[in-house]
Amino acid sequence: MDARPLVTEAEFSLSETPTEAEREAHASRQRWRLPVPRYLKEVYTWAYVAPYVKRIFDHQWVPAVILWFQDQPLMRSVLAEIKPGDRVYMPASVYGTFCIDMSNKAAPGPVTISDISTIQLYGLRKKRRAFNLKNLLIRRANAADPIKGPYDVAVSFLLLHEVPEDYKTMIVNNLLDQVDLGGKAIFVDYHKMKWWQPLWPVMAFVAWSLEPFTFALWKNEIADYVTPDRRAKFEWTKTTSFGGLYQRVVAVRKAL
C-alpha cells in the first residue's frame, strides 16, 4: 500500500473571522479524524475495511459476478444521466471501473467521491494516478454527512442496502440537500424481486448471511426515507430491472 498521506494540511486554529478556504481546510482535517462507523466494522470489515480487500475485490469481474452480470446496465443507467461538465458527487466509493467511467463522462466537470474507509480512498488515488483523472476529487467523509455541494448529479450506487435504517434516512435526505436547482439525485440499489425471479432463495440467503440491511429495501421505497418537505421539492421516477432485483430512483430538483 502507498504509505504517503492522501492530504497534507498544516495545523491551524480558526480565526474569529475565518475565510471560506480556512473553513474548508479545517473541516477536511476534522473529517480525517472521524472513526469508522461501528456497523461498518462489525458487518463489512471483510468487504471494505480489511487491508486485503482492494487486492481481492477491486476488479470489474468481481462486481459483475456479485451483480449477476448486471453491472454494466446498472452503471450505464447512471452514466446516461451525467453530462460533460456536470458537478458530480458520490458519497461512497465502489469497486471496479465505475469511478473511472463517471470521471471520464463528467469531464471537465469535477467528480467528488468520498468514503470513510481509508483503504477505499487509497484505491481511488491509485486509479486517479493510473488513469490521469484530473477532475477526480477524493475526500474522506461519513456517507451520512456528505461533502457539501451544490452538485448537478449526486449518486448513491448500491450503498443504501449496506447501511442501517438511521443511516439510510440520513444519507438520502442529506444527499438530496446537496443537489442544485435542476440537478438530480440517482439511487441505484436492490429491490424486492418479482415472485417469479428464480434468484429469490439465493439473494435471501446472501442478505441473511452477509448483508442484513438489504431486507429493508425489500419492504420500503427509497422515497419513504425522505422527509415530506424535501420530497415535495423533487420530481421522482423509479424503474426496476432484472426481475425486480434492482431499482433506479431519480429525483430531479424542481426549479423555483
User: What is the per-residue pLDDT across 162-218, written as a single tens digit (0 to 9) for each?
Assistant: 999 999 999 999 999 999 999 999 999 999 999 999 999 999 999 999 999 999 999
Determine the CATH number of domain 20-253.
3.40.50.150
Residues 219-241 have pLDDT tens digits of 999 999 999 999 999 999 999 99
Q: What angle do CA 173, 175, 178 make, to 5 degrees?
A: 115
Neighbours of 6 (CB within 10 A): 14
Q: Which three cell numbers stand for residue 193?
A: 424481486
Contacts of 68 (CB under 8 A, 6+ apart): 199, 242, 245
Distance CA 212, CA 210 (A): 6
Q: Which three cell numbers stand for residue 1?
A: 500500500
- Contact status, residue 160 vs residue 172, Cβ threshold 8 Å: yes
Instruction: State residue 36 phi and psi, 5-degree precision.
Output: -70, 130
Residues 79-134 have pLDDT tens digits of 999 999 999 999 999 999 999 999 999 999 999 999 999 999 999 999 999 999 99
Contacts of 122 (CB under 8 A, 6+ apart): 1, 2, 6, 54
Please name which of 172, 120, 117, 116 lies closest in space to residue 141, comparing C-alpha atoms. Answer: 116
Alpha carbon of 205 to those of 125, 189, 201, 211, 247: distances in Å?
34, 17, 6, 9, 20
Beta bridge partners of residue 247, listed in sequence order: 189, 240
Question: Cis omega (within 30 of 0) on the bond before 108?
Answer: yes
pLDDT score recorded for residue 33? 72
Distance CA 140, CA 134 (A): 18
Alpha carbon of 100 to those of 11, 73, 79, 106, 140: distances in Å?
32, 16, 11, 10, 18
Domain boundaries of the chain, sorted by first residue: 20-253
pLDDT score recorded for residue 11? 37
Alpha carbon of 65 to those of 15, 73, 93, 137, 217: distances in Å?
52, 13, 18, 28, 21
Q: SS3 of 69, please?
A: coil
- Least confident window among 51-55, 64-68, 139-143: 51-55
